[in-house]
């Protein structure tokens, strides 16, 4: 056994990390099915069998890839928002972080979850179920932030409805940015929609974060 660091084997864990880092990038462009073990091993210049041994099955690799993507997503989108105190400001920061996450291509294929959720949306099985739970987490978080802002008296709007709409703007901007050349135009249009929607939802007289 290797020297342990926090309960994980060093050598194997490093390989695993390297594999997953590459895997999320590939999957964000070509999907979790397009993510083939042979291709992944080829790009990393390791053996297919050695890579396979880390996961035991393709499905396990896919699930591990989603977990890895989720971690990156949390770092890029959720954490920056949680650093802001609850209320209108946090809600706005959350959406702003998301748009930034998509726009600056944290994953080369745009939002990882938009991609693979569409890939597995109409199927069944563990991968689908996992993606459903991540989606629930995400929408729940927006909703919770909206509810906090409402509790603070900064917002008058149904949190569920508002969360649906803000998330819709994000998703739609992400796809449009993949299909159009003028990426910046797409995102500034989305930001405009977000601002307008939040202004309409804000309690009259409340100070708006972008003002």
Partner DNA sequence: AAACTAATAATACGACCGTTCGTATAGTTT
Partner DNA sequence: AAACTATACGAACGGTCGTATTATTAGTTT
Helix (H) or strand (E) holding 4: strand 4-5
Under rule CB under 7 A, residue 7 binds DNA = no
| Residue nearer to its own copies on the CB measure, 101 or 169 | 169
List the interface residues with its own copies, window 157-186 (CB under 8 A). Answer: 160-161, 164-165, 167-169, 171-173, 175-176, 178-180
Under rule CB under 8 A, residue 132 binds its own copies = yes
Interface mask toward DNA for 63-102; x: CB under 7 A: ----------------------------------------
Contact of residue 27 among DNA, its own copies, none (CB under 5-8 Å per partner type) = none
Contact of residue 2 among DNA, its own copies, none (CB under 5-8 Å per partner type) = DNA
Q: Specify the 3-state DSSP secondary structure of 1.
A: coil
Under rule CB under 8 A, residue 92 binds its own copies = no
Instruction: Give the 3-state DSSP-derived string for 180-199, with helices as H, strands as E and coil as C.
Output: CCCHHHHHHHHHHHHHHHHH
Under rule CB under 8 A, residue 72 binds its own copies = no
CA gap 131, 63 in Å, rounded: 9
Under rule CB under 7 A, residue 172 binds DNA = no
CB atoms within 10 A of CB 127: 19
DSSP output for 90-157: HHHHHHHHHHHHHHTTSSTTS-HHHHHHHHHTTS-SHHHHHHHHHHHHHHHHHHHHHHHHHHTTSB-S
Contact 138, 64 (CB under 8 A): no
Under rule CB under 8 A, residue 104 binds its own copies = no
Q: Which two tokens stand for residue 36?
A: 């083939």
Picking from 25, 33, 7, the residue whose alpha carbon sits closest to that of residue 123 is: 33
Under rule CB under 8 A, residue 200 binds its own copies = yes
Q: What is the binding site for its own copies (CB under 8 A)?
A: 28-31, 33-34, 108-110, 114-115, 117-119, 121-123, 131-132, 135, 160-161, 164-165, 167-169, 171-173, 175-176, 178-180, 189-190, 192-193, 200
Residues lying near DNA in the complex (CB under 7 A): 1-4, 9-15, 35-39, 46-54, 56-59
């Amino acid at each position: 056994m290797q020297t342990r660091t926090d309960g994980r084997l060093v050598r194997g864990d490093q390989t695993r990390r390297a594999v997953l880092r590459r895997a999320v990038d590939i999957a964000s462009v070509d999907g979790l099915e397009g993510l083939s073990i042979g291709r992944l091993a080829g790009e990393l210049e390791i053996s297919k069998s050695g890579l396979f041994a880390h996961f035991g099955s393709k499905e396990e690799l896919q699930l591990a890839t989603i977990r890895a993507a989720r971690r990156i997503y949390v770092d890029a989108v959720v954490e920056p928002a949680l650093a802001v105190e609850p209320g209108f400001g946090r809600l706005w920061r959350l959406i702003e972080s998301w748009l930034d996450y998509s726009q600056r291509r944290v994953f080369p294929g745009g939002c990882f979850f938009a991609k693979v959720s569409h890939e597995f949306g109409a199927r069944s099985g563990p991968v689908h179920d996992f993606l459903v739970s991540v989606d629930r987490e995400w929408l729940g978080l927006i909703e919770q932030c909206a509810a906090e802002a409402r509790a603070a008296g900064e917002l008058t709007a149904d949190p569920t409805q508002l969360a649906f709409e803000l998330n819709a703007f994000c998703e739609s901007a992400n796809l449009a940015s993949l299909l159009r050349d003028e990426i910046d135009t797409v995102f500034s249009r989305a930001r405009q929609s977000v601002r307008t929607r939040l202004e309409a939802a804000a309690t009259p007289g409340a100070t708006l974060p972008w003002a």
